[in-house]
Amino acid sequence: MALSACVALVACACGPEKTKEDTAAKPSQPSAAARTETPSASAAPTREQHAPRTKEGAIQRYEQYLHALGREDIATVCAVAGPGAKKAQDQGFGPCTSTYTAVFQMISPTQKKALQTATVDPQRIAVRTPDTIEMPVEAVRADATFSESDLGSYTLEYLENDWYITD
């Protein structure tokens, strides 16, 4: 149960570190920090193409996050969860890189291995708007079982030409 709470809060906390200028940006207007700052943005170039603004694109991006979580690939995890960073940091959580290091320790080796090849059942996700998709934990297909307290459910939003975990 602690893992889910930490992962849920960290998903909001991960991503580009924001300057004082960036924190003034409105949520509907993502800041340039997502494209320019490190360490999160440094992971983005490893993916040469953005996920398309489709249900399939959101699934592709979320699977990238799940696989990175299983590999303990902090740069990719924080890049995907980028724009939600400010929420958890405002609640007292540290930057994505330090917080997810703790999360990685809470995931069992069996779960980590399962996450590396996890897929998403497209029939189990909910398209709320063309730019907002809900990924319930029940949509994750893996060799290990995940519950709301293990992994949690996420909201992905299409921002700056890609899908990001925002909640």
Q: How many CB atoms lie within 10 A of CB 125?
A: 20
Residue 39: pLDDT over 90: no
Nearest to 61 by CA among 51, 70, 69: 51
What is the Cα–Cα distance from 140 to 143, expressed in whole angstroms? Answer: 10
Give per-residue pLDDT as tens, 45-103: 345 578 899 999 999 999 999 999 999 999 999 899 876 655 766 788 788 888 888 88
Report the share of the chain in percent with pLDDT over 90.
48
Q: What's the average model confidence in pLDDT over 134-163?
A: 93
154 bridge partner residues? 135
Instruction: State the Cα–Cα distance between residues 83 and 159, nearest whole angstrom.
Output: 8
The pLDDT of residue 84:
64
Q: Which of 77, 62, 18, 33 is nearest to 158 (CA)?
A: 62
Q: Supply the pLDDT for residue 100.
A: 80
Report whether pLDDT(111) > 50: yes
Single out the residue of 10, 47, 43 nearest to residue 167, CA to CA: 10
For residue 92, what are the contacts with CB-CB under 8 A and spacing of at least 6? none
Domain ranges of the chain: 2-16+31-165
Q: Which segment of 85-94, 121-130, 136-145 scores lowest on mean pLDDT?
A: 85-94
Q: What is the mean pLDDT of the chain?
A: 76
Q: What pLDDT is recorded for position 99?
A: 80
